[in-house]
Structure 1
Amino acid sequence: MKLTVAAIQMDIQLGNPKQNIKRASKRIEQAAMKKPDVIVLPELWTTGYDLERLDEIGDTNGEEIKRLMSELASKYQVNIVAGSIAKKTDEGIYNTMYAFNRKGKQIGEYSKLHLIRLMQEEKYIAPGSSKGNFMLENVPAAGVICYDIRFPEWIRSHILEGASILFVPAEWPAQRLSHWRNLLITRAIENQCYVVACNRVGSDKNNTFAGHTMVIDPWGEIIAETDGEEETILFAEVDTDLVEEVRNRIPVFEDRRPEFY
């Protein structure tokens, strides 16, 4: 199956959900004009890493964003992998990704498992406890978030449940751009899957972000990548038949020896 993806590489105003929601809604409208099958947003796109204020500016149970993304998915008849937001619950605040189908029905939810100590995320955000697998247009897919890509065993666990496309919303800093590119390429090669990685641009009080939103095929070939750190929308076509072809040609999963791992 061929799917056109549109990844929205956007700037994020630190701690300003109202402005960020307005910006993202406009970008979704722009992307939808080209009638993609899937629109993707980056990590924590409503708040940025304004961690100290998440209890104030986070979205209670994700209700506002779930309602908005459902409405936009239905309005534009497009699947939306809605990046991630700060979801406030009685148990804590989670860095949570949602996905919606063309009818506006929620089809996926994943809360970030690996919290990055380098950004003190673990002091303000609770870790998730379940995988990010979901079905997209009858294609098995999965979503993980930013730092998760440094944990190959976590990514592999999603692929073993059938995922052919891995979505990665992120706020990845510019000083580790080489890690971003190399890790994503490696995750695509070793898991023989498509990787659709949507990173933010701009700066906050601590970091400048790398951009370089990418789509990588199961051979590890970059089929589309933004060429800088400006706001833009990256379009690319993925063909899930290629996943099966690659996995048949190099049967990595059949040759695994998990009894020794």
Structure 2
Amino acid sequence: MKWTVSCLQFDISYGNPSENFKKAESLIEQESRRADVIVLPELWTTGYDLTRLDQLADENGETSVQWLKKTAKRYNVHLVAGSVAVKEGENVYNTMYIADNSGQIVKQYQKAHLFQLMDEHLYLSAGNSDGSFELDGVKCAGLICYDIRFPEWIRKHTSKGANVLFISAEWPLPRLDHWRSLLIARAIENQCFVAACNCTGSNPDNEFAGHSLIIDPWGRILAEGDRTEGAVPAEIDVSESEAVRGTIPVFQDLRRDLY
């Protein structure tokens, strides 16, 4: 199975969902001419406007889901639609939705690890489910930003057979080296593809790194963005993940009696 995967990194309009929906659809329309799978950044509808998320969050995800279903079907593309702030009752979740190219929602994942250093725990609730899903019969996983600092969480997904990790982020510029190193390590140790979409630009408190990455199961960078808006595409052959796992049988050699 070969896919052209494209990460759409863009400068998110702070606290302005209507503007961000327009920008995302415009970028998707352009990129759908070559891409099979498109990945969006974290909290791309609102930006990292944490103090106002309670007012800005999408009630039960209704607007985001309808937009996503319509857009994926219209442009005949699988959409790993980054994440959006979703209000459920009194709680707000950082929620990733995935739609296939027929417009069906195949997964909803709520970010499991909240980044206390930037006060996420004060404005968001943590999710309690994993990010596993399938597209075209390919086992995948969706993860959000801070999740990549937890290798045991990633391994939970790849131990179930995930060959592609899709990651959405609003990763800040001062920790760009961590972003690149962690993603390369996750690809190597899990012998899988990584497609990681970060945002560009800035908000009143942060400057973001961009540098979306697509990495193969050997840890080789297939495509990398810079700090400007735009698409970061690469063709991947998903079968390469299983080939690498056969060459160095890490998963067969796990000591499940010890850990």
Give the structure-1-normalised TM-score.
Answer: 0.98
Partner of 1:184: 183
What amino acid is aligned across from residue 45 of structure 2 in structure 1?
A: T
Structure 2: distance between partners of 1:32 and 1:117 = 36
Query: Any residues of structure 2 matched to 1:153-192 within 5 Å, and which?
Result: 153-192=152-191
Partner of 2:246: 248
Partner of 1:86: 85
Offset of residue 50 of structure 1 = 0.7
Structure 2: distance between partners of 1:108 and 1:155 = 17
Structure 2: distance between partners of 1:223 and 1:37 = 16
What amino acid is aligned across from residue 25 of structure 1 in structure 2?
A: E
Structure 2: distance between partners of 1:49 and 1:241 = 36
Partner of 1:203: 202
Partner of 1:33: 33
Structure 2: distance between partners of 1:120 and 1:93 = 14
Partner of 1:139: 138
Structure 1: distance between partners of 2:150 and 2:52 = 28
Partner of 1:4: 4
Q: Are 1:46 and 2:60 counterparts?
A: no
What runs of 5+ residues in structure 2 fail to find an aligned partner?
Answer: none
Offset of residue 148 of structure 1 = 0.2
Partner of 1:116: 115
Offset of residue 206 of structure 1 = 1.0
Offset of residue 260 of structure 1 = 1.0
Structure 1: distance between partners of 2:113 and 2:71 = 29
What amino acid is aligned across from residue 248 of structure 2 in structure 1?
A: I
What amino acid is aligned across from residue 178 of structure 2 in structure 1?
A: H
Partner of 1:105: 104
**Offset from partner CA, 1:8-27 (integer Å, 9 cap, x none):** 00111111111111111111
Q: CA RMSD in A?
A: 0.7
* SS of equivalent to 1:126: coil
Partner of 1:22: 22
**Offset from partner CA, 1:31-90 (integer Å, 9 cap, x none):** 1122x1101100000011111111111101111011011101111111000000000101
* SS of equivalent to 1:245: helix
**Offset from partner CA, 1:65-120 (integer Å, 9 cap, x none):** 11011101111111000000000101400000000011100011100000001110
* SS of equivalent to 2:166: strand
**Offset from partner CA, 1:206-258 (integer Å, 9 cap, x none):** 110000000000000001111x2110111111111111110000000001102
Structure 2: distance between partners of 1:91 and 1:31 = 37
Partner of 1:128: 127
Offset of residue 205 of structure 1 = 1.1
* SS of equivalent to 1:18: helix
What amino acid is aligned across from residue 70 of structure 1 in structure 2?
A: K
* SS of equivalent to 2:24: helix
Structure 2: distance between partners of 1:44 and 1:245 = 34
What amino acid is aligned across from residue 179 of structure 2 in structure 1?
A: W
What runs of 5+ residues in structure 1 fail to find an aligned partner?
Answer: none
Structure 2: distance between partners of 1:77 and 1:33 = 9
